[in-house]
Amino acid sequence: MVIFRVPAVVSLLLLSSYIKKKLPIKYQEIVEATSQKYNLDKYFIYAVISTESSFRENVESHAGAKGLMQVLPGTAVWLNKKYSLNLDTENLFDPKTNIEFGCCYLSFLIQSFENLETVCAAYNAGPGNVDEWLTKYSSDGKTLDKIPYKETEKYVKRVMTRYEIYKDLYN
């Protein structure tokens, strides 16, 4: 019996190809331009989009969040007023509009919370919840030592893991 060994390089290429299919780069022009506009890491945006919608632009959550970055209509209205974005809040399934709102919101959250894991928690559970959690579950006032919502805890881990993979795979 003949046993064929696949060289390690070939194995790594196959694995890399498989991961790229699972974690693709899509909407590259929009993501790169918008991430630059808001001074965000594009790989972080890809990780959020991948986690939120798996790059499906017409998806809507049970809570009413819409599009690639799962933006709530109320959040879009608030962002439009706060930052004078003049975007169509009824058009959240449009990739450019959705990514603009999502990046603007992430930029706001980063200014508010600084720590990316805390920002992810706020993106998922809302900044009000995270403000409360920081008073109860933080040793430094910035980093959450515990996330009391299991869904949010899993969400943060998924985004941060994907973020690291995107950086390693595409950088």
Task: Specify whether 52 is catalytic.
Answer: yes
Full DSSP string of 47-69: HHHHHHHTT-TT-B-TT--BTTT
Catalytic residue among 29, 52, 151, 153: 52
User: Which of 63, 53, 66, 16 has the alpha carbon at shortest distance from 159?
Assistant: 53
User: pTM here?
Assistant: 0.91
pLDDT digits (tens, 9 = 90+) for 56-100: 999 999 999 999 999 999 999 999 999 999 999 999 999 999 999
pLDDT digits (tens, 9 = 90+) for 132-166: 999 999 999 999 999 999 999 999 999 999 999 99
Confidence of residue 17 (pLDDT cuts 50, 70, 90): confident
